[in-house]
Chain A
């Protein structure tokens, strides 16, 4: 190899990491400002979850457990939003709880966003999404074991008051969601191993159907539970959220709800793709430089 080229490669191996941060910043930021169209194709775990909720009996509720903290909001919040939109679009009752105290604000933020979207387009009382009738936010309580086991007996015993301080017994929706028997599927959106606790305590003990939405970091750990059927479906990271957003957008369009809503997961896919290409380039370049200059560095 010629001397100047070799020097460039040696220099690349010693490059200040801040240049890499700067390149990544630009690579991620530019597609957000000037996006190119990326439409993720739903993977089987995402499609399975969508199909299950979509065909769930009318008397069964979707329960979303907001088990994450603000640091993973970017990946997981779009999942909560998409699940809420799906449930409200097909008129299924929804119950929301938080296993993490930090998930309370995130849960409420998602509820406010989605209910505002639906109520802004509602022409009749039937079209509206009403608190206490169509959905309930149970809030948070502790310890985890008591929540997961107690909900199998009676949810109002675990959450005597909801997030807003109302007696849960007084809410009409609670006549239809008494315990796990009334829940079609419970989805734990988490950045930890909490979905496995739901398997241990809610599924093994009471046989409730489960699914999860998890950060991409932990996706590889949860695939075996999808394979075994313990989770009906799974949303993995921001890409999983984007896939679900696409499916929900199609469903809403079919139901006459073509509202041009903001899909944060889908919006991020062009940046995600550009960043992945850049990182693959860095890895390749780093390896080429390493092997090409191995002799010289010795």
Chain B
């Protein structure tokens, strides 16, 4: 056993145990650690936004003599539009918050939608099509056919425009099976993820803090 002498490791270990104490029941140690985490995370982010974005990209550039006047006007105008987010706190002016939201929303949608259609719909549709190349090996061919059937069956399950009879009935039932298999896989992965996070903390406690594990 080789217990750490680093005060930061001790602080991290005590806070980890404080968070884990919630597993027993709600208590002040857990509350303290939770609030501290939220506060530090926000403070850290705000500091970075200030020093890495606002100061070099706005204040320094607006204050620099070599920056052209038109650039300065643009920068100040954009900063004012951004600052309109704070009008949320003034009830009479709160409607102004729609201006920056509309700009961000419009810009993001314009940039994302065309590329999203290509990446998430067209490329995925192409990958679902079974071609001769899919049968390079027997197993790749089999998986390609299963994927195609799975996509068709799952889509048919969510097809609500007509009564489920004829071909649609067995196909939509097959869709339920594919969906359940998907849920099962997701749940299995979720268990693995949560266990991994706990292992990570235990590795820290046993290795970095207590030195039990090398």
Contacts and interface: CB of A to CB of B under 8 A. Distances in A.
Given A33-B213, A75-B200, A227-B147, A216 B52 contact: no
B167 interface: no
B142 to A, nearest CB: 13
Most chain B CB neighbours (cut-off 10 Å) among A28, A71, A196, A220: A220
Interface in B109-155: 111-112, 115-116, 118-120, 123-124, 126-127, 147
A104 B44 CA distance: 11
A28 B52 contact: no
Give the size range of A's interface with the partner: 35 or more
Nearest to B116: A200
B190 interface: yes
A10 interface: no
Contacts of A140: 48, 52
B192 A237 contact: yes
B206 A29 contact: yes
B202 A32 contact: yes
Interface string B162-201: 0000000000000000000010011001111101111111
Nearest to B192: A216
A199 B189 contact: no
A287 interface: no
Say what secondary structure dominates the interface of chain B.
helix
Interface stretch (A112-120, A128-136, A265-273): A265-273
A236 B196 CA distance: 12
A153 B212 CA distance: 50
B23 interface: yes
Contacts of B201: 74
Given A237-B196, A275-B195, A217 B190 contact: yes
Contact of A75 (B24, B112, B193): B193
A75 B197 contact: yes
Nearest to A217: B193
B111 A73 contact: no
Most chain B CB neighbours (cut-off 10 Å) among A21, A268, A276: A268
B116 A32 contact: no
Interface stretch (A57-65, A201-209, A245-253): A201-209
Nearest to A229: B127
Contact of A196 (B120, B185, B186, B192): B120
Interface residues of B, number: 44
Contact of B195 (A201, A203, A236, A272): A272
Nearest to B213: A32
A142 B46 CA distance: 13
A176 interface: no
Interface in B16-60: 23-24, 41, 44-45, 48-49, 52-53, 56
B213 A216 contact: no
A201 B196 contact: no
Contacts of B119: 196, 199-200, 203-204, 230
Contacts of A268: 196, 199-200, 203
Contacts of A205: 115
B112 A267 contact: no
A101 B48 contact: yes
A102 B199 contact: no
Interface of B: 23-24, 41, 44-45, 48-49, 52-53, 56, 107-108, 111-112, 115-116, 118-120, 123-124, 126-127, 147, 182, 185-186, 189-193, 195-203, 206, 212-213
Given A101-B49, A276-B192, 20 more contacts: A28-B202, A74-B196, A104-B48, A145-B107, A145-B111, A196-B119, A199-B120, A200-B120, A204-B115, A215-B193, A217-B189, A217-B190, A220-B186, A228-B123, A267-B213, A268-B200, A268-B203, A272-B192, A276-B195, A279-B195
The 6 closest A-B pairs by CB, nearest first: A74-B200, A228-B127, A216-B193, A238-B196, A200-B115, A216-B192
9 contacts: A18-B23, A18-B24, A33-B212, A74-B197, A74-B203, A145-B111, A264-B203, A272-B199, A275-B195
